[in-house]
Structure 1
Amino acid sequence: MDKLSNYYRNKKILITGHTGFKGAWLSLALSTFGAKILGISKNIPTKPSLYEASQLKQKVKTEFIDIQNLKKTKRVIKKFNPDIIFHLAAQSLVKKSFSYPVETFLTNSIGTLNVLESLREIKKKCNIIIITSDKCYENIEIKKGYKETDRLGGKDPYSASKASAEIILHSYFNSFICKKDNLRISIARAGNVVGGGDWSDDRLVPDIVKSWSKNRTVNIRNLKSTRPWQHVLEAIFGYLLLCYNLNKKKNLNGEAFNFGPGGNYNYSTKEVLEKLKTLWPKKSKIKVRRSSSIAESTLLKLNCAKAKKRLAWRSILNFHSTFDLTINWYINFYFKRKKNIYDFSRTQIKNYLVKFVKKNKLR
């Protein structure tokens, strides 16, 4: 067995936000490794959802609570007494944050505060990974890519809520966590992720597959907008590798790491559409409708040199393989319904793991 899978085998792992897109993929990966998982979430955020499509409720123990509730969050974490915590629970949509700014700050900032406060009652050794976002940086649209030491900020409520969560974490780390020998914590910042099982609103790939699967025209706001497109497994395995290294290296305690695609993988919406049209088995209709109601950044790129140097982390998928994996998952879901989604998703994870272990020298 490889070192990464072996580390997580039989570990008690708590995942916040496990019913969300990233949380469900993380749950699938850890269940594949043989971990004992407790997921806590407010609800199932989309319908359909990867959580339901892969029947994770039969595979992972679940507590439906709102992390805005400190008392309940403390109770669940204390009772489960985890070895590892991955905190992903969030209101993760930029556009929604304009409609519900208070809810966004309460979930992303105060929710993180409640998780951190709950850590103070843990007595056993516990490693914690807090997942924030590339949007926590003050985005001045530079081409070099943001480093972990660059200034935090956020013009929109979502970005500001994630920057706020990191400031809260910095305070708690220096005031409490760094003084406890049993706790170690790191921050993971990932960019724009894609992959099968995402049905969130106002995201490019989910909007496309939701429309095309019903033979409808997809409306596109901005063909020139660029993003560092990254498969969800690249980010998930970055989180897993970070926690694995945090357990071994005390000097990673309190550190933040970027996880973005390798090379120059900032592609425009137009290039993504052209790729997806070649993969989709049925008609693919597009209409460009510019919207000025929401201010969107047109350039956002991460510098991942720190993760490469200190974690020996390497991304393994290029632009084309990223979208091949993604669209193959959706084709399986929409057009090959007899195939088991749980098994199909785990097969993607296992195939990725083989390549990841080899490239990151984890055998």
Structure 2
Amino acid sequence: MDHHFYRDTWAEINLDAIKANINAFQNHLPNETGIIAIVKANAYGHGALQTAKAALEAGAARLAVALLDEALLLRKAGFTVPIHVLGWVHPKDVQIAAEYNIELTIFQLEWLDETKEHISMPVKLHLKVDTGMGRLGTTTFTELKEIVKEIKHSKWLTLEGVFTHFATADEPNSSLFYRQHDRFQQVLQLLKELDSTPHIIHTSNSAAAIQLPEKSYQFIRLGISMYGLQPSPELAPPFQLHEAFSLHSCLTHVKQVQKGDTISYGAAYEASETEWIGTIPIGYADGWLRKIGAQGEVIVEGERVPIVGRICMDQMMIRLPKKMNIGTKVTLIGSQQNERISIDDLAKQLDTINYEIPCMISNRVPRVFYKDNKKIGCVNGFQNL
């Protein structure tokens, strides 16, 4: 895992923070409720393999991803725990999932019909019910009954789980949240009548687990808050979360410019006096969007300083309070001395949600992993090319 990298830009992933967040949820939940660690999208940009390992060490019992490719990556890396693909998988690829003991999501009767032509090994399925999200899931009791009947009569298919996803669990006192919960209760009653109640029932994401821990069934799906982020600004958990992701770079050039000198493409920034300008090797190809530049700030030597000029593909410039040395550390997300720029701060500036921020930092930015306050290795995205 310890691949070297040759540029002064990197993300730091604090695996101890991830473990602490899982432990906090374990203390918040009923004793019988387990945790499914959501490590899709490269663990929300944190590094899927390393995050999954830390999550399991902290007590998570299962893993879940969005894509079959993500599940196969985990299996081929040696993970033996149950792995569930939350999204749609093509019927022709079900056999591959079976070979790697990967659990799949079912919500279409026609999917079952086509799967029969491709399967010759046991596969565990989780029935997804659309109770109000309007994304994936069966929406009628008639189809649900037919799906359950087909699975019962199948030689290779087993109904392992049933789940739904809440659309507004991150909003306090949402009426839709409670309607979805009630509709899911009806689904469970129907499955009971069909003598098909599965082993695993899971509905709660981070937000629902914070709001209604007592209604979490056997498992919660812990995603955003495993990484130390609130599901929404309005929904603070009754315990502390620890942000796991930070982003850093270094000064590669420092120069003094005179009044009237311009910086970057389009000459959009013009110095109003004699100024010190620093260049940093990070840009929009790294996911550090051009839009950040307008009001963006970074931290150098414990002081917030502004981004100046347009952010380029691979570099950007900042206005320094004084002459500084090449190699001086610059923090874009995280803490330096008494200053901090959080993921939520950046999300607010970009008028988006905190989920998007670590996901948008591309794999061109190496991830450096820390455990017990020590660097334990890094992943350089170029190793995967």
Common fold by TM > 0.5: no
More helix by share: 1
TM-score, scaled relative to structure 2 = 0.30
